[in-house]
Amino acid sequence: MSTDMYGPLLDRIHEKHLWDKKHNWEKKRLHVNYAPATRKQVYRSETALGFSFPPLLRAIYLQIANGGVGPRRGIMGAKGGFVDNLGNSVEMYLWRKREFQPIDLAECEKQAYEISMEENAFKLVSNLEMEPPDETWPESLLAFYHHGCGDFSSIDLKTGRIFVGGNPLLWYEANSLEEWFERWLQDDDGNLNPNANSLEEWLKRLE
């Protein structure tokens, strides 16, 4: 798929990213300031993964920055890019592949049950919650953003939908990566439930 269709969105993401690098205290404190990925870095990443990055994510890596774009510290990078405390997006995917039994996301969805969306720390597009069996993980999910406390935003490589969680529950966070980034463009904490100022605050409420 051509990335030309993302031109206006990429321009807006780039503009906000430039502002963020100067004014976002968390990115300044952690020195999150990466150049765009080289084609070699992306090629090596995709070779290690065994598949191509989703088009918008790939375009961000190549045209804006190799990670560090988006809310708070930003998305994890490809090889040679922003490394979260659990690695870059490639390392995180390969770690789950080694440590967990792969399962089909569709099988998890069959077991989903309803919850109250107001009690969740994240903005969601569905009131359904999933709990993969112990020591399993949907193999089609590529984590790209770490919220902290073991919860990640992940893109489903088959449908493009965004799921959040992983410790151990999963929820439907957004219908696409474009929607996920639009929330950030409109509000720095656009992927958090407005009832919680942070994931840490929400977790304290559960204690």
Q: What is the pLDDT of residues 81-125, one digit of tens each?
A: 999 888 999 999 999 999 999 999 999 999 999 998 888 889 999
| Residue 202 pLDDT grade (very low, low, confident, very high; cuts 50, 70, 90) | very low
Better-predicted residue by pLDDT, 204 or 114: 114
In eight-state DSSP terms, residue 28 is H
CATH number at residue 73: 3.40.1580.10
Residue 67 pLDDT class (50, 70, 90 cuts)? very high
Range of the domain at 162: 4-206
Residue 146 has phi, psi (to 5 degrees) of -105, 115
pLDDT above 80 for 51: yes
pLDDT digits (tens, 9 = 90+) for 137-162: 999 999 999 998 889 999 999 999 99
For residues 66 and 76, is the Cβ–Cβ distance under 8 A? Answer: no
pLDDT number for residue 206: 40
Q: What is the rounded distance in angstroms from the CA atom of residue 127 to the CA atom of residue 172?
A: 8
Number of domains in the chain: 1
